């Protein structure tokens, strides 16, 4: 099958760019002819909340073939991208959706694909609505997503949000696949801690990724006094760039008396340094306040690191291994209890290898299967209409 995949990839940074690249590779591995279309400009510099949207990694994750044609502020590039798609004549187009900023471009492309190309238009919804939605975001999302013929979301909660906008949408729920692209490094925990200048024997928690309110870092900080009361030497490393105001977090650390027990590495962590943080950690904590996809959780699964999180993507039939601890959101006491209980376990249970089972649950193959089924369903529906 010939597939056109539209979304960010290197030289753009971050989890969605990594996701697009991994999906491209998974589709190619399945044997599909994949044409990846990305951005010549993703955001204007003044609008991007971080230092830069470009990836500073010395070891970038990049696809073999990609066309950089889309400019967020230039409608002529939206038309030229459609002309490229029309020349390709793909069997399906996959559009990545994560922010209403792209609504004008995606609305134009969606209509051109829907009526000018007449091919299945499948939306990969990283977030149906933004994490901090504004009053117009629902209208924009409904306007754009209404062009789609099939949808992938990453949690039941996201499915509910989509169905609230489009009650007849053809939706598949596929949890965020595992991120294991950084796991080839064989650095040991001792070596990683030495490089990061972290005491070799201290119980170590890791909060990783961009700091935004919905990711729940403040809930983890509120839990730290109780965690340290029960496991006194516990330390926390916060590794990621602030997209919220730093001051409120720093002030809370001081007011809680955490002092030297919390370390902030306020920067985008390049690919080659990711293994240092995950290998050094005893436990990754991802206390999201809103249930959505999380590349950090999937990095923890990829590195086989024990995890405390509010994100439960397992079905009722799937039993979480002892190393995958789920707590309710917005609950610092639950976080403190789960972390403290984890450190009370024996070492062999902490390093539970049953976490390997999660790699099958969160596989890229499941995601590829879902896209194939959505494409096939849409083709059959069109064939039925033609016969009628």
Q: Is pLDDT of 314 > 80?
A: no
Q: Classify residue 137 by its DSSP letter.
A: H
Q: For 189-361, which CATH class?
A: alpha beta
Contacts 24+ apart (CB under 8 A), 24-33: 24/63, 25/63, 25/364, 26/177, 26/364, 26/365, 26/367, 26/368, 27/3, 27/368, 27/371, 30/365, 30/368, 30/372, 32/1, 32/2, 32/3, 33/1, 33/2, 33/3
H-helix or E-strand spanning residue 103: helix 103-111
Q: Is pLDDT of 246 > 50?
A: yes
pLDDT band per the 50, 70, 90 thresholds, residue 388? very low
Select the more confidently predicted residue: 349 or 293: 293
Measured distance CA(206)–CA(202) in Å, rounded: 12
The pLDDT of residue 104 = 94
Give percent of the chain above pLDDT 70: 93
Query: Same CATH fold, 189-361 and 2-177+363-387?
Result: yes
Give percent of the chain above pLDDT 90: 68
The pLDDT of residue 144 = 96
Residue among 233, 341, 364, 356 nearest 305 (CA) = 356
The pLDDT of residue 49 = 74
Q: Would you list the domain boundaries of the chain?
A: 2-177+363-387, 189-361
The pLDDT of residue 234 = 95
The conformational region for residue 306 under phi > 0 = left, psi -120 to 50 = alpha, else beta, is beta
Q: Is pLDDT of 346 > 80?
A: no
Measured distance CA(229)–CA(47) in Å, rounded: 42
The pLDDT of residue 361 = 76
pLDDT in tens, 20-38: 999 999 999 999 999 999 9
Measured distance CA(374)–CA(28) in Å, rounded: 18
The pLDDT of residue 362 = 85
pLDDT in tens, 103-148: 999 999 999 998 899 899 999 999 999 877 788 899 999 999 999 9
SS3 readout for 75-94: HHHHHHHHHHHHHHCCCEEE
The pLDDT of residue 352 = 53
H-helix or E-strand spanning residue 22: helix 15-29
Residue 234 contacts residue 260 (beta carbons within 8 Å) = no
The pLDDT of residue 386 = 42
Q: What is the mean pLDDT of residues 243-249?
A: 91
Select the more confidently predicted residue: 322 or 82: 82
The pLDDT of residue 199 = 92
Measured distance CA(341)–CA(102) in Å, rounded: 44
The pLDDT of residue 19 = 95
The pLDDT of residue 387 = 46
Q: Is pLDDT of 349 > 70?
A: no
Strands ordered across the beta sheet of 235-239: 262-265, 235-239, 204-208, 283-286, 307-309, 324-326
Q: Is pLDDT of 381 > 80?
A: no
Put simply, whether the predicted model's pTM sits higher than 0.75 gets the answer yes
CATH architecture of 2-177+363-387: 3-Layer(aba) Sandwich (3.40)
The pLDDT of residue 335 = 97
pLDDT in tens, 192-245: 999 999 998 999 999 999 999 999 999 999 999 999 999 999 999 999 999 888
The pLDDT of residue 383 = 55
């Amino acid at each position: 099958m010939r597939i056109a995949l539209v979304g960010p990839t290197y030289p753009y940074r971050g989890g969605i760019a990594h996701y697009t690249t991994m999906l491209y590779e998974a589709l190619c591995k399945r044997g599909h002819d994949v044409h990846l279309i990305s951005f010549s400009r993703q955001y204007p510099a003044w609008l991007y909340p971080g230092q830069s949207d470009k990836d500073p990694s010395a070891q970038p994750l990049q696809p073999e073939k990609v066309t950089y044609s889309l400019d967020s502020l230039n409608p002529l590039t939206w038309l030229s991208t459609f002309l490229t798609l029309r020349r390709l004549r793909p069997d399906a187009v996959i559009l990545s959706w994560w922010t209403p900023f792209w609504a004008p471009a995606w609305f134009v492309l969606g209509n051109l694909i829907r009526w000018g190309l007449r091919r299945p238009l499948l939306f990969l919804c990283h977030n149906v609505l933004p994490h901090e939605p504004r009053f117009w975001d629902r209208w924009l999302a409904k306007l754009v997503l209404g062009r789609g013929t099939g949808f992938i979301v990453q949690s039941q909660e996201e499915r509910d949000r989509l169905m609230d906008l489009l009650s007849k949408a053809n939706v598949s729920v596929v949890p965020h696949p595992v991120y294991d692209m950084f796991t080839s490094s064989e650095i040991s925990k001792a070596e990683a801690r030495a490089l990061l200048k972290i005491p070799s024997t201290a119980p170590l928690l890791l909060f990783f990724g961009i700091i935004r309110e919905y990711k729940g870092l403040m809930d983890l900080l509120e839990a730290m006094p109780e965690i340290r009361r029960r496991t006194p030497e516990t330390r926390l490393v916060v590794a990621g760039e602030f997209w919220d105001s730093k001051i409120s977090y720093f002030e809370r650390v001081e007011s809680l008396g955490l002092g030297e027990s919390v370390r902030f590495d306020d920067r985008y962590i390049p690919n080659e340094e990711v293994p240092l943080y995950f290998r050094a950690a005893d436990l990754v904590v991802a206390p999201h306040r809103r249930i959505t996809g999380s590349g950090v959780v999937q990095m923890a699964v990829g590195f086989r690191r024990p995890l405390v999180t509010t994100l439960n993507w397992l079905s009722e039939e799937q039993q979480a291994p002892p190393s995958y601890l789920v707590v309710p959101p917005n609950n610092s006491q639950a976080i403190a209890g789960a972390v403290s209980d984890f450190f009370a376990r024996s070492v062999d249970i902490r390093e539970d290898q049953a976490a390997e089972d999660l790699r099958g649950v969160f596989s890229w193959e499941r995601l590829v299967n879902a896209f194939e089924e959505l494409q096939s369903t849409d083709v059959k529906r069109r064939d039925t209409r033609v016969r009628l």
